[in-house]
Amino acid sequence: MRARRQSLRRRLLTTLLVPLTALLLLNSLITYLGALIYANHVHDVNLVNDTLTLVQLMTNKSPDGQVTPQAQFLLEYEPEGRNYFSVFSEHHGLIAGNPVLKPPRGLFADGHAPQLYDIQIERHALRAASIQMVNPREPDDQLEVTIAETLHDRHQEARQILLLSIPAQALLIVAAFLLVWLGVSTSLRQLEPLTNQLANREHGLAPIGDADVPVEILPLTRTIDGLFARLRGMLALHERFIADAAHQLRTPLAGLSVHAERAQASSDPTTIKDALNHIQRLILRANRTSSQLLALTRAQTAEHEAGDTERLDLATLIPELVGQRVHEALAAHIDLGYEGPAGPLHIDGDRHRLQELLDNLIDNSLRYAGRGSVMTVSLDRENRHICLAVEDNGPGVPPSWIERLGERFFRVPGSEEQGSGLGLAIVQRIAEWHEARVRYRSGSDGRGLRVEIIFPAADQT
C-alpha cells in the first residue's frame, strides 16, 4: 500500500490542538481544585460558626450542659451523609453525642479558640471543629464541644462548580480550534504565490530570491537557490566540456580522416606506413586530450566536503609517487630525483587527487624539459605551510607568459611539443580543492621552470 503522504496542515493542527486539549484537562483539574479549596473554606467557616452556636445554646438555653433532642437531630442530620457531634466533660467524660468523636490531646494547648482538624470515623473522612468552654453547672469543669461533618457536600459543590465551568471552557477551546484552523489555512495560503512563481518561471534554475518569501521559508528557498546554483555550475561545466571536446578533438579527427584517405588512395607501402604512423600518433593525442578533459571536469566539479580528506604525510607519500615515475623518466633520458626533510609533513588531503596533481606536473616537465634535463621534486616547510615543488632545467617559460600558466588550453607560443594545454589547469583546480596556492617561477640560475604548490599544514592535535 502507498504510504500516507505527510500533511503540513495536519501536523500543524495536531501540534496546536493536542496541547490545547491537554490545557483543557489541566484547566479543569485546576478549576476543580480551586472550587474544592473554596468549598472547604466556606464549610470550615460554617463549621466553626455551628460550633460557636452550639456553645451559645448550651450556655444560654441549657444550663445543665445537656443537648436537647431537637438540637441533636439538627446537628446529626445530613440528607446524603452524616454529621457528628460530641460534648466531653473533663470530670464526667461523654455528656452527649458520639463517644468516638473526641478531640486529640494537646489540641487546646494554645488557648480556647476553635480548632479545625481532620479525623476518620467508621471509614468516613471528616472535618471537625472543637472548642473548649466552662461547664455552666461546674465552673471548675471544662467542656470540649466538637462538631464534625463528612466531606460529601464539599466535593459535591466542587463538582458542581466544575460542571458549570466546563461548557464555557469547551466553548473557548472550540473557538480556539476554529481560530487555529483559520490561522493555519490562511498562513499556508501564503505559500501559493511562491508555488505559482516556481511553476510559471521562464528560467527553471534562476534564483528564487528573498522577495515576498515568508521569513520561516527563507532557509528552504535559500537552500533551493544553492541547489540551483550548483546545478547551473554543473550544466555549465558539461556544456564547457562538450565545447572543449569538440574544439580539441576536431584537429586530430580531421588529421585521422586525411591520413586514412592517404592510406586508402596509395598503393606505396612507404606512404601507407607513414599514414598509419600519423594515425597512431593522432589517436594517442586524442586519447590523451579526452583523458585530460575528463580529469579537468572532475577537478572542477568536485566539492570539498567534510569527510573527503584524510591526514597524509607528504614526506612519505611524495617519494613513493615519484618512485613510480623513475622508469618513465629514464626512458625519456631525464634525471628525476627527490629532495625533502626526514621528518613528517602532514596535510589534510586526498591521496588520489594528489597523485593526479603530481603526475601532471611530472608529465609537463617530461614533455617540455627535453632530453638530458634534470627534474627535481622537493618538499619543504614554510612556517605553517608545506611547499611541494617540481623544478626542471629545461628551456623554461618566458617571463611574459608565466602569468598565463594554468589557463585552460594555454600553450606557450613556439613550443614544438604537442600537448592539450590542460595539465597545469588540472593542477590549479586540484590545488584549489586542497585550499593550496600555485606559484610559477623560473628555475635555478634562471633556467627551466619551477612550479610550487603551497599547502596549509595540518593542525598537530
Contact predicate 381/396, CB 8 Å: no
- Binned at pLDDT 50, 70 and 90, residue 293 comes out as low
User: What's the whole-number average pLDDT of the chain?
Assistant: 77
**0.75 surpassed by pTM:** no
In the predicted structure, residue 455 carries a pLDDT above the cut 90: yes
Is the pLDDT confidence value at 77 over 60? no
Q: Phi and psi at residue 367, in whole multiples of 5°?
A: -80, -40
Q: Please report the pLDDT score of residue 243 as a whole number.
A: 60
Ranking 57-61, 219-223, 299-303 by mean pLDDT, the lowest is 299-303
What is the pLDDT at residue 301?
58
The strand pair at 142-150 and 124-134 is best described as antiparallel
Residue 214 reports pLDDT greater than 80: no
Distance CA 64, CA 219 (A): 89
pLDDT at 379: 92
Say whether domain 308-456 belongs to CATH 3.30.565.10: yes
Band of residue 32 on the pLDDT scale cut at 50, 70, 90: confident
Q: Which of 177-186, 229-238, 288-297, 446-455 tops mean pLDDT?
A: 446-455
Looking at residue 376, what is its pLDDT? 92
The pLDDT assigned to 76 comes to: 53
**How much is the pLDDT for 1?**
43
Give residue-wise pLDDT tens across range 414-453: 555 555 567 788 888 888 888 898 988 888 877 888 899 9
Q: What would the 3-class secondary structure string for the chain be?
A: CCCCCCCHHHHHHHHHHHHHHHHHHHHHHHHHHHHHHHHHHHHHHHHHHHHHHHHHHHHHCCCCCCCCHHHHHHHHCCCCCCEEEEEEECCCEEEEECCCCCCCCCCCCCCCCCEEEEEEECCEEEEEEEEEEECCCCCCCEEEEEEEEECHHHHHHHHHHHHHHHHHHHHHHHHHHHHHHHHHHHHHHCCHHHHHHHHHCCCCCCCCCCCCCCHHHHHHHHHHHHHHHHHHHHHHHHHHHHHHHHHHHHHHHHHHHHHHHHHHHCCCHHHHHHHHHHHHHHHHHHHHHHHHHHHHHHHHHCCCCCCCCEEEEHHHHHHHHHHCCHHHHHHCCCEEEEECCCCCCEEEECHHHHHHHHHHHHHHHHHHCCCCCEEEEEEEEECCEEEEEEEECCCCCCHHHHCCCCCCCCCCCCCCCCCCCCHHHHHHHHHHHCCCEEEEEECHHHCCEEEEEEEECCCCC
Mean pLDDT value across residues 64-74: 53
Residue 310 to residues 133, 144, 299, 319, Cα–Cα distance (Å): 94, 90, 18, 18
Phi, psi of 100, rounded to the nearest 5 degrees: -75, -25
What's the pLDDT band for 386 if we cut at 50, 70, 90? very high
Q: How large is the average pLDDT for residues 183-209? A: 69
Question: Which grid cell is 294?
Answer: 575528463
The confidence band for 306, taking pLDDT boundaries of 50, 70 and 90, is very low
Which among 108-117, 246-255, 269-278, 448-457 has the top mean pLDDT? Answer: 448-457
- According to the per-residue pLDDT averaged within each range, which of 34-48, 257-271, 275-289 is highest? 34-48
Residues paired with 313 in a beta bridge: 346
pLDDT the model gives residue 273: 83
215-300: in CATH 1.10.287.130? yes
Which neighbouring-strand residues pair with 392? 375
Is the pLDDT confidence value at 8 over 80?
no
Q: How far apart are CA 88 and CA 431, in angstroms?
A: 103
Enumerate the domain spans of the chain.
Answer: 8-159, 215-300, 308-456
86 vs 109, more confident: 86
pLDDT tens readout for residues 144-171: 888 888 888 888 888 888 888 878 877 8
pLDDT exceeds cutoff 80 at 393? yes
Q: What is the CATH number of domain 8-159?
A: 3.30.450
pLDDT given at position 377: 92
More confident residue, 127 or 296: 127
Compare 36 and 205 and report the one with higher pLDDT.
Answer: 36
Phi, psi of 117 (to 5 degrees): -160, 165
Sorting pLDDT into bands at 50, 70 and 90, what band is 257?
confident
pLDDT at 67: 55
How many residues make up the chain in this entry? 461
